[in-house]
Amino acid sequence: MNTYVVSRELLEQNLRQLKKQANGVPIWAVIKGDGYGIGALPLAELLADNGIEHFCITEVREAELLRENGFREAQILMLRSISDRETLHRLLDLNVILTVGSWEVAQEIDALARERADIAEVHIKIDTGMGRYGFLPSETERVIALYCEMKHLAIGGIYTHFNCAYGDEKLTRQEFTAFRKVVAQLRAAGLETGIVHCCNSSAFLKYPEMHCDAVRLGSAILGRMPFRTKLRPVGYMESEIEALRTLPKGHSTGYGAVWTAKRETQLAIVPVGWYHGFHVSCRYNMTRASDRFVAVLAAFKRLLRKELTYVEIGGKQCPVVGAIGMLHCAVDVTGMSCAVGDRVILQVNPLHQKGVKVAYRK
Ligand SMILES: *Cc1c(COP(=O)(O)O)cnc(C)c1O
């Protein structure tokens, strides 16, 4: 059976490394997207066991999951700036810190808190370039007004989210400067800004001077960064050889017949394909036919350039041959002694894994 295996040991190792680099600045763990594919709850539980007390979410369900499973004291920040009343009610019931990214959202939350005879804890979002939620740096006057007028908001923090921290240093520095300027203006107006935070994983790793009062880390915990780091990817796909075939010279395997056997070849058929996230990149939305086509084309190009993909069988790296299918791939195991049922390890980004169970192991 296919399983996505997560190593507790590697997760803990990454976390230790990140804590060391955070140098005392609290880590707010981002567990959105079902914990980046490795399960929001088991991930949060492991992190809590290792001293993490702050979590960031994007779905009500994630807050429910935490609160229903013993996370009573943990601080939970909703990263989306939400105006839907019912959702807000539920989030306040769950004692979640809300994000205020616009005047309208602030009004909605303020009115709701007043109705509930409650005070809603919120963080203000500044939009320095992402262009999704947040007040523009030019709207600082509005933010100041918000502090003064909204009596039912307890503003506990202010943050921005960089859009290019993994790549564009100049832009990121400009965004950081713009953000700090907003914070400085608020302070000059005599306001308490609370916790100031801006770093995602990339910014955290690249720019220690931007750590401020807290950092929001997701990908780094899973050890999956688009540049070289000391962090280790924490998971892999585990499957089994489903069939062994001996193909005569000249026979092909997979769609498009892009590969044919140059000699008699022993193939291991493994029941993992792009549906399960094998060899899927963030660039493609595999539920869309056009993207699927482009992804398959890219795979063909890699094949033509002889850039092979490997999987591990019996401790050995074996090349995948032919185009990877929706549910299968074929692996060249010529000359190896392997059997149906032997374990196969495949590198799969958990963000793309689906249709398999997730298992945490030592
Ligand atoms: C996803 C997200 C993060 C975490 O990003 P990583 O690069 O995975 O660390 C931080 N902040 C916000 C607002 C996010 O949406």
Q: Which two tokens stand for residue 344?
A: 């196969």
For residue 287, the model assigns a pLDDT of: 58
List the strands of the sheet with 75-78, edge to edge.
Answer: 75-78, 54-57, 27-30, 214-217, 195-199, 153-160, 120-126, 98-100
CA dihedral (101, 105, 111, 113) in degrees, to 10, reads -50
3-state secondary structure of 112: helix
What secondary structure does DSSP assign to 234-274, as a single string? Answer: -EEEEEE--EEEEEPTT-B-SGGG--B-SS-EEEEEES--G
Q: What is the mean pLDDT of each run of 10 residues along the chain (362 residues)?
A: 96 98 98 97 98 98 98 97 97 98 98 97 98 96 95 98 94 98 97 97 98 98 94 96 97 92 97 92 60 73 76 96 94 97 96 94 94
For residue 286, the model assigns a pLDDT of: 55
Query: What phi-psi label fits residue 46: left (phi over 0), alpha (psi between -120 and 50 degrees) or beta?
Result: alpha
Q: Which atom of ligand 1 is nearest to the CA of 166?
A: 7
- Ligand 1 contact, 78 CB (< 6 A): no
Q: Which atom of ligand 1 is nearest to the CA of 33?
A: 1
- Ligand 1 contact, 218 CB (< 6 A): yes
Q: Which atom of ligand 1 is nearest to the CA of 216?
A: 10
- Ligand 1 contact, 77 CB (< 6 A): no
pTM: 0.91
| CA 200 to ligand 1 center in whole angstroms | 5
- Ligand 1 contact, 81 CB (< 6 A): no
Q: What's the rounded Cα separation, in Å, for the pair 344 and 318?
A: 10
Q: Which atom of ligand 1 is nearest to the CA of 36?
A: 8
| CA 216 to ligand 1 center in whole angstroms | 6
Residue 268's identity, in one-letter code, is A
Q: What's the rounded Cα separation, in Å, for the pair 32 and 252?
A: 42
Q: Which atom of ligand 1 is nearest to the CA of 220?
A: 9
For residue 297, the model assigns a pLDDT of: 77
CA dihedral (94, 95, 100, 101) in degrees, to 10, reads -40
Q: Which atom of ligand 1 is nearest to the CA of 161?
A: 13
Segment 29-70, tens digit of pLDDT = 999 999 999 999 999 999 999 999 999 999 999 999 999 999
Q: What's the rounded Cα separation, in Å, for the pair 160 and 182?
A: 11
Residue 243's contacts (CB-CB under 8 Å, 6 or more residues apart) are 268, 269, 340
Residue 72 CB: number of other CB atoms within 10 A? 8
**Which one of 21, 56, 124, 231 would you pick to mutate in the ligand 1 pocket, going by the greatest count of ligand atoms within 8 A of its CB?**
56
Q: Which residue has the tokens 């409650």?
A: 118
For residue 329, the model assigns a pLDDT of: 96
**Which one of 43, 160, 164, 216 would you pick to mutate in the ligand 1 pocket, going by the greatest count of ligand atoms within 8 A of its CB?**
216
**Which one of 97, 161, 205, 221 would you pick to mutate in the ligand 1 pocket, going by the greatest count of ligand atoms within 8 A of its CB?**
161
For residue 322, the model assigns a pLDDT of: 92
